[in-house]
A and B are shown apart, each in its own frame.
Chain A
Amino acid sequence: MASGGVEGSAELRIDGAAKRFGEVAALDGVSLQVARGELLTILGPSGSGKTTLLKVVAGFEKPDAGSVKIDGVEITALPPARRDIGMVFQNYALFPHLTVERNVAFPLEMRNVTKAEIARRVAEALALVELAGYEQRLPRQLSGGQQQRVALARAIVFNPRLLLLDEPFGALDRKLRETMQLEVRRLQRRLGLTTIFITHDQEEALVLSDRIAVMNKGTIQQIATTTEIYERPANDFVADFVGESNIFHGTMSGTGVVTLEGGRQLRVSTSAVPGKRVGVLMRPERFASGGINAFAGEVVESVYLGTSFKLRLACEDGLELLVRQPARGELPAPGARATFGIDPDAIHVF
């Protein structure tokens, strides 16, 4: 297993998956592909359908329409037990009556692997998650982080074709969460495991993913690389959900000029044709003091965040801006006047 699991790992393809619960469309025609060895994050608020999508992939829910294929083979109707998918549940779902060793051995026992082979692979998996020596403990005798590692070892010990992670870090404190995120990422890369990771935490999604699929109301809003999602979101929802943002709407009033609702004109670099209704995204950290596209106004709120100042600026024409500046010098007090500018290249038009 440690020696390159890439050959066991597969690509996943979902086509037009739909699932209704009564009146609610939990999945409304979702299609996506995950390449061999890729880590795709499905990011969305609760109720966006991400958990339903995961259950469809794992086989715990049957979609009303659409198909799920692993390496081109349809598995839509296959029971979970025959899908060869490793899964880490939200609360780990470790078997409380079995020791760490027996928990990790479970998927191998179900596959009638020989005793000697089980012992070897369990030891290998536990070493991989740095839990050698904990074989005889029961889950309740472990810390949250350790339980998480056991769940991870159990999910990868049988060389699954796909790894599913369902908000696995939710129960951990911040520091441990960051450690585990990096660890999971390292392990996933090393094993070359095709992985789907579910979360509602956009920061976590940015740290971990090759690509992110942002979901809302049962549909995929955008599926792209992390930088693409952050720098060039496809719509309001994505722009707002991922990262801090200033979003405005307006009309292209000339080549490279947007007139915002309210009349203010912005210089932008886009190929959008004049007359087109557009959204404008300005990330708070992209502002500089002065320059093109100047926003002058009064600081109404200021917060010191260690590495940066976070300011809320009320402009004369009624616009409100969220601005982040590197923390240097005095924190501007509320009531102070300030001017910030933003480069046309730093404005995303969608």
Chain B
Amino acid sequence: MSRRLLVLACALIYLFLMLPLLVVFPISLSSAPYMQFPPPGFSWQWYERYLDDPQWIDATWRSLYIGVSTAILALALGVPLAFSLVRAKFLGRAFVERLALAPIIVPTIILSVAIYGIFAKLKLIGAWYGLVLAHTVLALPFVVLVMVAGLRDFDRALEQAAEGLGAGRWQTLRRITLPLLRPSLVSAGLLAFISSFDEVVVALFLAGANMTLPKKMFDNILMEIDPTIAAVSVIQILLVSVVLVLIGRFGRGLSGSAR
């Protein structure tokens, strides 16, 4: 009996999570000129419209390279930070760790307003690298969380063994430590990428005329709502899904053991 209830609850939750997809996918393939569910017929027209519109394509590319740049920058900052948090003893270590996670806690809109103020002075509004800087702040907690978990599980006897066998610090890092942390690095980088690729609030404030994909979608919903948005959604969902599959295949979960 209780088992049946459990199954039922799971099914309902699953349905709740999946319903948007179940609606979006058919609409993106609709033959109707407006949002209509269920769609009256099948057509590729909305995908064609997306591919033919340079604004959409521009926005997609911009989101991609902003996402990749954010991931690189967040790794460059977050990995050394995680190393120092796990391995170094210094005053205020716990404080720094919480500070690094703060962007998760502070409402994004507050963060956006604050960053907007600074960026307006620095003339960074509308610059793609400005958005990269802001997204890096948001992505940093993911990188730090994943890397700290990875480093806590790391068997330091391996590094001692390497040093004992004649490897210097850098050789040990390059030949032993980083290769063994690769699953964590992959997860951290891809999560940072997704957090930027999906991000709309900061983009609304900082992107200016240079649309990222989420911002373009947002504007599109405000202006002219047609099934193109469904087609774009499907493309975005598929892209993020691919990234998540990559994390599952080559990465390492926050809680789980290394693969």
Interfacial residues, chain A to chain B (CB-CB below 8 A): 58-60, 79-87, 89-91, 93, 95-97, 106-107, 110-111, 154-155, 158
Contact = CB atoms under 8 A, between A and B. Distances in A.
Interface stretch (B4-12, B156-164, B200-208): B156-164
Given A81-B168, A110-B171, A95 B163 contact: no
Contact of A93 (B155, B167, B168, B171): B155
Given A97-B180, A154-B165, A80 B160 contact: yes
Q: Which interface class (under 10, 10 to 19, 20 to 34, 35 or more) fits B?
A: 10 to 19
Contacts of B171: 110
Contacts of B166: 81-82, 84, 107, 110-111, 158
A85 B171 CA distance: 18
Interface in B148-189: 155, 157-158, 160-168, 171, 175-176, 179-180
A110 B161 CA distance: 12
B165 A107 contact: yes
A91 B165 contact: no
Nearest to B182: A97
**Which residue among B161, B168, B176 has the maximum number of chain A CB atoms within 10 Å of its CB?**
B161
Given A93-B155, A96-B180, A97-B179, A87 B161 contact: yes
Interface of B: 155, 157-158, 160-168, 171, 175-176, 179-180
Nearest to A151: B161
Contacts of A84: 166
Contacts of B160: 58, 60, 80, 89, 93
A303 B165 CA distance: 48
B163 A79 contact: yes
A89 B167 contact: no
A89 B162 CA distance: 11
B252 to A, nearest CB: 14
14 contacts: A58-B164, A80-B163, A81-B164, A83-B164, A87-B165, A89-B160, A93-B157, A93-B161, A106-B167, A106-B175, A110-B166, A110-B171, A111-B166, A155-B165
A91 to B, nearest CB: 7
Nearest to B163: A80
**Which residue among B163, B171, B176, B180 has the maximum number of chain A CB atoms within 10 Å of its CB?**
B163
Nearest to B168: A81
A85 B164 contact: yes
Given A81-B168, A110-B171, A93 B163 contact: no
B19 to A, nearest CB: 43
A106 B163 CA distance: 11
B157 A106 contact: no
A95 B175 CA distance: 10
A279 to B, nearest CB: 40
A8 to B, nearest CB: 15
A310 to B, nearest CB: 39
Contacts of B176: 95
A191 B176 CA distance: 29
Nearest to B176: A95
Nearest to B171: A110
A80 B157 CA distance: 13
B240 to A, nearest CB: 29
A168 B221 CA distance: 67
Q: Lowest 9 CB-CB distances: which A-B pairs, in order?
A: A110-B166, A93-B161, A107-B165, A93-B157, A80-B163, A80-B164, A87-B164, A110-B167, A81-B163
A308 to B, nearest CB: 40
A96 B165 CA distance: 16
A91 B168 contact: no
**Which residue among B158, B171, B180 has the maximum number of chain A CB atoms within 10 Å of its CB?**
B158
B163 A158 contact: no
A89 B160 CA distance: 9
Contacts of B180: 95-97
Contacts of A79: 163, 168
A89 B157 contact: yes
Contacts of B167: 81, 106, 110
Nearest to B159: A93
A60 B164 CA distance: 9
A92 B134 CA distance: 45
